[in-house]
Amino acid sequence: MLSPMMLSDGSNQHWSLDFVSDALNNGRRFRVLTVVDDYTRECLTLVADTSLSSEQRGREFDRIGEHRGWPLMIVSDNGTEMTSYAILAWQEKQSVLWYYVAPGKPQQNRFVESFDGRFRDECLNEHLSRNLGHARSVINAWLADYNAVRPHTGLNGMTQEAPLNTPARHTTTHRPYLKTEGTFGAGSRRLGWDPQGRIPVFWPRLIKMKPCLNLGKP
């Protein structure tokens, strides 16, 4: 489903996804799926494997969602691994909107791109892993420190898991309205809502005219 990119103003509204590649001591390549909450900057998971199928990614998303609720939107690149039938079916089942960044525009996914650089510099480049199990152990230890121990200047010195006075998706009871500048032209006064009435959904012709929206409380 083609969706406009909206600004996150609370936890668990946007998840950003990406992949980071590395190699074991024996030269065998593996990849790490990174998932970040855009608002809190918390890393929700780091999944390391030699192959990450669409079904495996869907199961990982479900594991996160069962723990903290599903997001309003997921942001990723538009590679084939993110546009497969299994991923689209998962998105439809969970009623999660998906925003694909424009080709050659990684800055549109800046939160996870920034995290990826820190993860590589501080974890992957600092350790040589004997095997996949060792790599997972090192990655999980780094993740625990990143989320629960280390203070972050972007969060005013709090850790990623510090309580935030912002509601998660499943606690939202109101329909936010649009704060926009200018007009969309004829026929755009009445906008549609997604199936669960959580956020406004534009037709593609309107998405092109206003790709970035800011949500506010009524």
pLDDT in tens, 116-153: 999 999 999 999 999 999 999 999 999 999 998 876 55
Residues 198 and 112 reside in one and the same domain: no
Residue 89: CATH number of its domain: 3.30.420.10
Q: Quick check: is 162 in a domain? A: no
Give the number of other Cβ atoms within 10 Å of residue 29's Cβ. Answer: 9
Residues 17 and 125 in one domain: yes
Residues 141 and 47 in one domain: yes
Residues 58 and 150 grouped into a single domain: yes
- 148 and 180 in a single domain? The answer is no
Lowest model confidence (mean pLDDT) among 5-9, 96-100, 107-111, 126-130: 5-9
For 136, residues 6+ apart whose C-beta sits below 8 A from its C-beta are 48
135 Cβ contact list (under 8 Å, min separation 6): 22, 24, 30, 48, 127, 129
113 and 14 within one domain: yes
Indicate whether 197 pLDDT > 60.
Answer: no
161 part of a folded domain: no
What is the DSSP secondary-structure string of 107-173? GGGHHHHHHHHHHHHHTGGG---SSHHHHHHHHHHHHHHHHHT--BGGGTTB-TTS--SS--GGG--
Residue 194 burial (CB < 10 Å; 0-12/13-18/19+)? Answer: middle
Residue 84 lies in a domain: yes
Among 1-10, 92-101, 183-192, which stretch is predicted with the lowest mean pLDDT? Answer: 183-192
Digit-coded pLDDT (tens) for 62-86: 999 998 899 999 999 888 888 888 8
Q: Are residues 151 and 173 in the same domain?
A: no
Same domain (yes/no): 136, 180 = no
The pLDDT assigned to 128 comes to 92
The three-class DSSP label of residue 34 is strand
- Residue 93 is assigned to a structural domain of this protein: yes
Evaluate whether residue 160 is within a structural domain. Answer: no
Q: pLDDT at position 173, please?
A: 31
CA distance 158 to 176: 28
pTM score? 0.69
Q: What is the mean pLDDT of residues 51-56?
A: 91
Residues 57 and 134 in one domain: yes
Q: Do residue 39 and residue 64 come from a single domain?
A: yes
- Using an 8 Å Cβ cutoff, are 43 and 147 in contact? yes
Whether 186 and 130 share a structural domain: no
Are 196 and 96 in a shared domain? no
Is position 163 within any domain? no
The total of structural domains in the chain comes to 2
Range of the domain at 212: 169-216
Report percent pLDDT > 90 for the chain. Answer: 43
